Chain A
Amino acid sequence: MSDSRSTGIPLKVRNLRKSYDGRVVLQSMDLDIAAGEIFVLMGPSGSGKSVFLRHLIGLEAPDSGEILVGGERVGPDIDQTRHRLAMVFQGGGLLNSLTVEENVGLYLREHRLKASEEINRIVLEKLALVRLGSDDAGKYPSELSGGMRKRVAIARALVIEPQLILYDEPTSELDPLVSLTIGREIVNLNRRIGATSVVVTHHVDLAMGIADRIAFLSEGAIVALGTPEQIRSSPVPLVHQFLNAEFKEA
């Protein structure tokens, strides 16, 4: 799937455990994700996918275990590592008090990494990458559709020039056509910038369409791991049910 893998970084997870108030959410997870890979995490609601993703970027601290991003341990000095990572949140996570342009340029402005004119140029360039025009730059997130908000969130993530992009339910609440567009964006970006991508989704078609490999989570543990074809033919009943779930009147 991924042609250019020059800037991606590998990810190693070792014995990751997490529980909240005695309820185990992640149980001893081990995982290796290769540089430049599009890795999809699937599983029923409450299986720990989003919690796992939040651990990868240091928003949650594990009870035990370690995460190595490009060989660096995700720990208290995460801010250094974060300059190589980006996350696209389920709802976009855009700051509602800022315009699209301010949201996308926030990272560069706050860290004073470029001159103002340069930032404006980069912002428009990244918006164009996710097929948003300069007309949209002055709008506030509340004026955008769900799909546009997600694309702005992707543009904001791209400004970091990340080596690892995490997507939390990038197609939730979107219609199938917009979901398809977002899926294509993920693949195109992966090809264009070569960053490693970890995608959490419930959307079976999206997962099968974009993934190099898929991990299926249930109750905080990986119950199936492999290529889309291997997952399709998985003998695990839950995976089979999940992939073939369709409404039938009783």
Chain B
Amino acid sequence: MFRNIGEMVLLFVATVKALPWACRERRKIAEQLFDIGNASLFMACVLSLFIGGVLSLQSGPVLVENGIGSALGNLVAIAMCKELAPVMMSILVAGRVGSAMAAELGSMSVYQEIDALRTLAINPIRFLVLPRVIAISIAVPCLVVFSNLVGWLGGAFVAAHNDRIAVPAETFFTSLREGVDPGDVVNGLIKSFFFALCAGVICCHQGLTTQGGPRGIGRSVTKAVVNSLALILILDYILTRVLLPFDNGFFA
């Protein structure tokens, strides 16, 4: 395990060192961004809509019973932008895109494509890892913004149409506007950027270190997804703790 962590840190450092090449790799970055968007956007929309709806459904009746139903928009919005959208979008992308990255790089390792790149004096980290890590680190925060908006709509819809809640959309969005400042959104974006970075590096590392044919590729994909999910959740606590002192309007 410690060897794996060490290798991942080295891969991350090598990727950072390759950053000056990012401009040259812009076509591959754009292709990856397109692939990530294509694979995730619809699912992100569905997930976010239902997450927002469930938040309203769970907390709405309690708030209404206590006479603070008008604060529902605030609660749903904060929960979405600071916690649920960053975590859920990162998990979604790690599952759908990260697994595909690990499988693709794993297959390239097994079928000697990466060795072939080395023999052509082409750095596989610059050629394969850099575009993927940059693309995933840009795509996830973008998906989080999208997820926030869809989640808020889902929450507002349920709040307005559920008989036990019955908070009008206007009240919901007024509470949302008053309660959420740009800092809360930025907080979620920072978290999602780091989640994506970690998922990207983990999935690429698993792919590059694949051994043992098709079975090895399957093992790598499983490890890539499981490790990414575990690290996203661990990192979520650490980043939330680190960003807590900045909560009172630092980003606003």
Contacts and interface: CB of A to CB of B under 8 A. Distances in A.
Contacts, number: 53
Contact of B119 (A82, A94, A95, A111): A82
Nearest to A110: B122
B121 A94 contact: no
Interface string A153-165: 1001000100000
6 contacts: A59-B115, A82-B118, A93-B116, A95-B108, A96-B113, A111-B121
B122 A106 contact: yes
A90 B116 CA distance: 11
A156 B117 CA distance: 11
Q: Is the interface of B mostly helix, strand, loop or mixed?
A: helix
B90 to A, nearest CB: 26
Contacts of B112: 89-91, 93
B244 interface: no
A240 interface: no
B127 interface: yes
A107 B117 CA distance: 9
A41 interface: no
A54 B118 CA distance: 11
A248 to B, nearest CB: 33
Contact of B127 (A54, A96, A110): A110
A57 interface: yes
B212 to A, nearest CB: 14
A79 B118 CA distance: 8
Contacts of A91: 111-112
B120 interface: yes
Contacts of B122: 106-107, 110-111
B121 A95 contact: no
A31 to B, nearest CB: 20
Interface of A: 54, 57-59, 79, 82-83, 85-87, 89-91, 93-96, 106-107, 110-111, 153, 156, 160
B118 to A, nearest CB: 6
B38 to A, nearest CB: 16
Nearest to A159: B120
Interface in B120-158: 120-122, 127
A79 B125 CA distance: 14
Nearest to B31: A97
Given A95-B108, A110-B127, A160 B120 contact: yes
Nearest to A160: B120
A95 B115 CA distance: 11
Interface string B52-76: 0000000000000000000000000
Given A59-B115, A156-B120, 13 more contacts: A57-B119, A82-B119, A82-B121, A86-B119, A87-B119, A91-B111, A93-B113, A93-B115, A93-B116, A93-B119, A94-B113, A156-B116, A160-B120
A79 B121 contact: yes
A106 B117 CA distance: 9
What 5 pairs between A and B have smallest CB-CB spacing? A93-B116, A93-B112, A82-B121, A87-B119, A89-B112
B107, B115, B116: which has the most chain A beta carbons within 10 Å? B116
A92 to B, nearest CB: 8
Nearest to A108: B120
B111 A93 contact: yes
A153 B112 CA distance: 12
